[in-house]
Structure 1
Amino acid sequence: MTSERPFSDALRRLREAGLRPTRQRLALAKLLFDGGDRHITAEGLHEEALGASIRVSLATIYNSLHQFTAAGMLREVVVDSARSYFDTNTEPHHHFFFEGTGDLADIPGDAIGITSLPAPPEGMQVSRVDVVIRVSKAG
């Protein structure tokens, strides 16, 4: 019987992304990716890290999340100028943003049809379209 080491998936993900597997990156990758797709803020991940006795600064959390995003391990979802979420699901899809709770929920990429887009500025091309639909309780 073979058993996987606790950090083997995190180590594999970091290596595949071309990132050096430091102790902090390994611990954060394990927190992020063990348990399925999810949306998290830097502050939320910092709280989880502290709760798991991982000593790491909020600045290191931000740096790591941006490095993971640049390496293609995460997608950043900017809800407004003061709030960003990091999504472990990097497949094309969109989001509902629940204004009352601040939660995000996935919308399958093929559930939204876009009939036209403006021409991009000269020398540029559209690389991706992200749709965030803001919802609140009716009434």
Structure 2
Amino acid sequence: MEGAPTRQGCPFHDVRQRLRRVGLRPTRQRVSLGWVLFAKGDRHVSAEMLFEEAMRERIPVSLATIYNTLRQFTDAGLLRELAIDAGKTYFDTASDDHHHFVIEDENRVIDIPGREIELTTLPTPPEGYEIAHVDVLVRLRKIGG
């Protein structure tokens, strides 16, 4: 895969390094899926969207492998999982502090910069737990819709 084309400054070599930094072995499928995920910059993708993109790129992969890879990338800290509804999960490639608008009926997620939401207090977690991360989801719908 060396010498393969790059998109938006994310060659396969960079994906391999990113995987190694978080302790994941850079297998062919992980590198290929990482390239598809990260080459387009910060974005939100579902497993189904990534599967369709992988098919367009002629990457031979099953939907089960997509789900497993997304889980591995999330567990390693390369992605943030956004559970929008019981049946809809997106994975966020952006690692900066931010929140999200969810546009109802459009299957779209838009970033809200972290500085635009001020959290002045947080609840005290139950004993034995700590707050790992706060995700604010602001749901939008079109006016008159």
TM-score normalised to the size of structure 1? Answer: 0.93
CA offset digits 1:47-77 (Å, max 9, x no partner): 0001111110000000000100111111111
Counterpart in the other structure of 1:122 = 127
Aligned residue in 2 for 1:33: 38
Q: How many residues align?
A: 136
Distance (Å, rounded) in 1 between the aligned partners of 2:125 and 2:138: 23
Distance of 1:135 and 1:107 partners within structure 2: 13
TM-superposed CA distance for 1:9, in Å, is 1.2
Q: Supply the RMSD in Å over aligned alpha carbons.
A: 1.2
- 2:72 pairs with 1:67: yes
Q: In the alignment, is residue 108 of structure 1 matched against residue 113 of structure 2?
A: yes
Alpha-carbon deviation of 1:120?
0.6
Gapped regions of structure 2 (runs ≥ 5):
5-11
After superposition, give the CA deviation of every residue in 1:88-134 in whole Å (9 maximum; x if it has no partner).
00212100001121100000111111222221111111121100100
* Mapping 1:1-139, distance limit 5 Å: 5-6=3-4, 7-139=12-144
Per the TM alignment, residue 83 of structure 1 is displaced from its structure 2 partner at its CA by 0.7
User: Kindly, what percent of the aligned residue pairs are identical?
Assistant: 54
TM-score by length of 2: 0.90
Alpha-carbon separation, structure 2, partners of 1:5 and 1:54: 17
Counterpart of 1:53 in structure 2: which amino acid?
A: R
Give distance in 2, aligned partners of 1:130 and 1:137.
23
